[in-house]
Chain A
């Protein structure tokens, strides 16, 4: 892990000079800003049950679908296309360090972008004197959920990038993986055949993997260790597969 800081620093730099990052950031802040203003308009018209933060985070998947693939598509796929992965791996650097460095850099940027939406709440706090709009519970829970689930989302993006040699393929694959995880599991649950006794383990597994349900728990202030374990183990698994994917490609190059 001696080279991890070098690679992490290099990757952050590369992300910051890449136009793709700024497109993803502008898109993300644009969408989230629109969502936030819409929420505020609703709140100014009539009193609502949930706090604005709760409603705001419920749409987390919308930017995730586009932002995570946009940030991760380039990382490993581009190195494999250009062949620079060969020069990288012939230095005393392990594949694990390379994958973790790229993952770490993307995750930090992901957190930074979500962190910048904190500005919306600051503006609300500054100009709306009403304190009950800013319930700190759902806010902290929401950001905690973003940080924890982001671990897995970014790892899936990195996995997609390690499987492909082409950035576009990596982006589409990343999108597909995230879609399957966030919305696909919900659709599967609605299949009536799953109610059969035979499929009950599958059904309970799917219920366990409901990302949007997890968000509800987090914003209510319930931090379930099973859910933490779900994201952490998923992340570790996705990263191990990414490392294996890079090494397999190396063997068959």
Chain B
């Protein structure tokens, strides 16, 4: 039943190259129409996993199914259903944009009759109309990147895999590519890998963090924050004796701890960071307790929202620790 199967199913995927395990037992599922962000430090196995999904590389073991089709036994059928943009977006230097898209469309088995209008459509969608007769080798990075995206969506595949589509772009171009990705939402299943975390946070429904070839965390960005960090952070600027602070904090919320204390500045104010396992808002009770208790002057209080970056760093750090333990055991 290929029509009801999830877009991508990966079970216990392992890939070893010459003794090095690049991907170590990864499993995940992507539903149809979902946008999945693929995060991980360099060398985590992102590109390898994506190449296996497209059928370019064979897996060492494990099962990969795309729209219900096995990548290893029906590679041609899978390749018809995937639009892939590799890392660094390789393009031929000496072709014109429209020629390139025409050639790619023919290879992807778009009917000759439909190809012309479809090329016009993707050129419009990717804002490439102005450069359609230019030679690709002479285009700027932003245009080249959009040619890559246009090529990936050309045959309207149900699954699109893009390896770092926004790398090396300026903020304005990132915005264009992001809008483009957002416009595909719901129609196509997307997997995007990136280092730019706000990027992933803004466009993706779900995030998968991998490190050292293993999945270290997955879920929506909000769920990941709760799961990985598991606490809230407050930043204060106050003047007064920091020694008296723990007693007041315990009165507000027993789990409140001082995680960092700065040096006092010229006016006697110092920065203090507090953490708590309590997820409810503690701003108001804190403010009341600190000002009422006397001896403290408060200049600012804010609740820090952990970014995906914090989650990413915490998750990868956690996985390094696990790996270090594994090594010690052996």
Task: Determine the residue in chain B with the shortest Cβ distance to A81.
Answer: B90
Binds B, one of A26-34, A83-91, A133-141, A167-175: A83-91
**Interface mask (B249-275 → A, CB under 8 Å = 1, otherwise 0):** 000000000000000000000000000
**Interface mask (B66-104 → A, CB under 8 Å = 1, otherwise 0):** 000000000010011010111010111111000000011
B107 / chain A contacts, CB cutoff of 8 Å: 3, 6-7, 88, 91-93
Contact B86 A92 (CB under 8 A): no
Q: Which residues 66-120 of A have a CB within 8 angstroms of B?
A: 82-84, 86-93
User: If A10-B103, A83-B86, A83-B88 touch, does A90 touch B79 (CB 8 Å cutoff)?
Assistant: yes
**Interface mask (B45-59 → A, CB under 8 Å = 1, otherwise 0):** 000000100111110
The yes or no answer to B121 lying at the interface (CB within 8 A) is no
A197 to chain B, nearest CB (A): 45
B51 / chain A contacts, CB cutoff of 8 Å: 86, 253
Give the docked Cα–Cα distance between A91 and B55 (Å).
10
Task: Determine the residue in chain A with the shortest Cβ distance to B102.
Answer: A10
Task: Determine the residue in chain A with the shortest Cβ distance to B17.
Answer: A252
By size class, the interface of chain B is: 20 to 34
The yes or no answer to A250 lying at the interface (CB within 8 A) is yes
B58 / chain A contacts, CB cutoff of 8 Å: 251
The yes or no answer to A46 lying at the interface (CB within 8 A) is no
The yes or no answer to B151 lying at the interface (CB within 8 A) is yes
A215 to chain B, nearest CB (A): 36
B85 / chain A contacts, CB cutoff of 8 Å: 87
The yes or no answer to B227 lying at the interface (CB within 8 A) is no
Give the docked Cα–Cα distance between A87 and B149 (Å).
12
Give the docked Cα–Cα distance between A96 and B55 (Å).
16
Contact B104 A91 (CB under 8 A): yes
Q: Which residues 1-56 of A have a CB within 8 angstroms of B?
A: 2-3, 6-7, 10, 14, 17-18
B245 to chain A, nearest CB (A): 57
Residue from A82, A90, A92 within 8 A of B93 (CB atoms): A82
Task: Determine the residue in chain B with the shortest Cβ distance to A6.
Answer: B106
A88 / chain B contacts, CB cutoff of 8 Å: 107
A251 / chain B contacts, CB cutoff of 8 Å: 57-58
The yes or no answer to B109 lying at the interface (CB within 8 A) is yes
B161 to chain A, nearest CB (A): 9
Question: 8 A-B contacts, Cβ less than 8 Å apart?
Answer: A83-B88, A83-B90, A84-B90, A87-B85, A90-B54, A91-B107, A92-B80, A253-B51
Q: Which residues 189-238 of A have a CB within 8 angstroms of B?
A: none
A84 / chain B contacts, CB cutoff of 8 Å: 90-92
B107 to chain A, nearest CB (A): 4
Contact B90 A17 (CB under 8 A): no
The yes or no answer to B108 lying at the interface (CB within 8 A) is yes
B330 to chain A, nearest CB (A): 28
B57 / chain A contacts, CB cutoff of 8 Å: 250-251, 253
By size class, the interface of chain A is: 20 to 34
Contact A82 B90 (CB under 8 A): yes
Give the docked Cα–Cα distance between A92 and B155 (Å).
12
Contact B108 A82 (CB under 8 A): no
**Interface mask (B186-208 → A, CB under 8 Å = 1, otherwise 0):** 00000000000000000000000
Task: Determine the residue in chain B with the shortest Cβ distance to A93.
Answer: B107
Contact A86 B86 (CB under 8 A): yes
A143 to chain B, nearest CB (A): 32
- Beyond contacts A86-B56, A91-B107, A92-B109: 12 other A-B pairs, Cβ-Cβ < 8 A, are A3-B107, A14-B95, A82-B91, A84-B92, A87-B84, A89-B56, A90-B55, A91-B104, A92-B80, A92-B107, A252-B18, A253-B51
Q: Which of A3, A92, A251 has the most CB of B within 10 A?
A: A92
Give the docked Cα–Cα distance between A92 and B86 (Å).
16
B113 to chain A, nearest CB (A): 15
Contact A91 B56 (CB under 8 A): no
User: If A3-B107, A92-B109, A251-B58 touch, does A87 touch B76 (CB 8 Å cutoff)?
Assistant: no
Give the docked Cα–Cα distance between A2 and B106 (Å).
11
B103 / chain A contacts, CB cutoff of 8 Å: 6, 10
**Interface mask (B13-56 → A, CB under 8 Å = 1, otherwise 0):** 00001100000000000000000000000000000000100111
A10 / chain B contacts, CB cutoff of 8 Å: 103
Give the docked Cα–Cα distance between A91 and B85 (Å).
11
Give the docked Cα–Cα distance between A126 and B82 (Å).
59
